[in-house]
Amino acid sequence: MRTLVLNGGSSSFKCWFHTLSDDALSGDAPQPTWQARIEWDQRSGLGKIRFQVKGTTTEREIPVQAPVDALPPVLEALWTGETKVISGAREIDIVGHRIVHGGIAHRNSELLTPEVRDAISKQVEFAPAHNRFELEAIATIDQVVGPAVRQVAVFDTGFHATLPAAAYIYPGPYGWLQEGVRRFGFHGISHQYASRRAAQLVGSDPASLRMITCHLGSGASLAAIRNGKSVDTTMGFTPLEGLMMGTRSGSIDPGIIIYLLRHAGYSADQLDDILNKHSGLRGVSGISDDMRDIQEAIAAGNERAKLALDMYAHRLCREIGGMLVTLGGLDVLVFTGGVGENSGPIREAACNQLAFLGLKLDAAKNAGSPVDENIAARESAIPVLVIHAEEDWEIARECYRLAGKG
């Protein structure tokens, strides 16, 4: 089954294409036949596109005003030019989309119908950096590939549908729950894959493990996973809650918002923009939302960059502690996502605080470039896994399942 996956994040779009079969599903995540990554720099008005086709990488830049502007030429590169791997758009059997938020009624993966599209649209306010782009990507598929192709919505909230009531209900008036105000949790596709892959790597049944998965990227969240199911997570009603992130504040005292509305003349829209786009690493450091830039600035003696990293690590450790208590112990700790996979200092900071559990890192492994590897020391009581994020593969598996093939 020739499967195209579109994965729109807060800082990039990823496109993934591969032909799936029963044999492929039973093994590790495959290297796709064709993939492309679009990174958009709003300040320069340029889209940077990297293609990887059958082991060959090519890069180009095109002028764009928004990430979705780059989608038509990228999609057409599947069947035209030097990156061509199929003869035409009609060869695509199914398209899977990562959808951040579908509300309460839409948590499980499903075919995109007008009703599902409407539900995604209604959640734009709660995931503004994602749902709008994802709807634009769906419309682009209609135009470039054709409205007849099957499209699938794979919801980031789905994996967290198993949260118990004590975890998903907020301690405000109970009537909030009837109004749809509750914890949803996000990054579920990543947490789902990472937990399944972790169980494979340690050679255990997922149903026997207590696991904390740390998805650390431009957005960041933790999940407490018991018996293969999410029982707690740091993101909540929106992707703004929880950890300090690249440009998002994470959890803050809600009284700050009330104070700023009453006394500092801010509007709700201004605060929304500040908390989502000008806070976190970028807001504190004044430099960047990219952890690599932060670490370079620290090496050059920048004190605000050092403060930003210290705050990031402090918040991460504090939230891991909360997940640990929820689980009542820990069998596996997992890091995934751009920061989780590539920042040894962040992993070290978190693991040092868990030494009381008998957890100990192998310094050499942590300093390297581990991929799907246990970086704990041999004497560590708990394995520490660095797992390459494979959201695209997880979405492709859901497409295959919905198509009745798996």
Question: Can you list the domains of the chain with their CATH numbers?
Answer: 2-155 (3.30.420.40), 204-386 (3.30.420.40)
Give the torsion sign (CA, 406, 227, 354, 223): positive
Q: What is the pLDDT of residues 92-113, one digit of tens each?
A: 999 999 998 888 889 999 999 9
pLDDT at position 44 is 64
Helical packing angle, 188-202 and 391-402, nearest 10°: 100
Q: C-alpha dihedral over 269, 271, 277, 278, to 10 degrees? A: 140
pLDDT at position 69 is 82
Can you tell me the distance from the alpha carbon of 158 to that of 235, in angstroms, rounded to the nearest whole number? 13
Q: What is the pLDDT of residues 339-348, one digit of tens each?
A: 999 999 999 9
Q: Helix H segments across 81-209? A: 114-122, 131-144, 165-168, 175-178, 188-202
pLDDT at position 9 is 64
pTM of the full structure:
0.93
Q: How much is the mean pLDDT over the chain?
A: 93
Spatial neighbors of 188 by CB under 8 A, at least 6 apart, are 155, 156, 157, 158, 159, 160, 223, 230
Ranges of residues in the chain with a pLDDT under 70 are: 9-11, 24, 41-44, 128-129, 405-406
3-state secondary structure of 244: coil
Q: Which one of 118, 142, 156, 272 is the catalytic residue?
A: 156
Can you tell me the distance from the alpha carbon of 330 to that of 213, in angstroms, rounded to the nearest whole number? 11
Strand partners, 94: 3, 150
Answer yes or no: 156 catalytic. yes
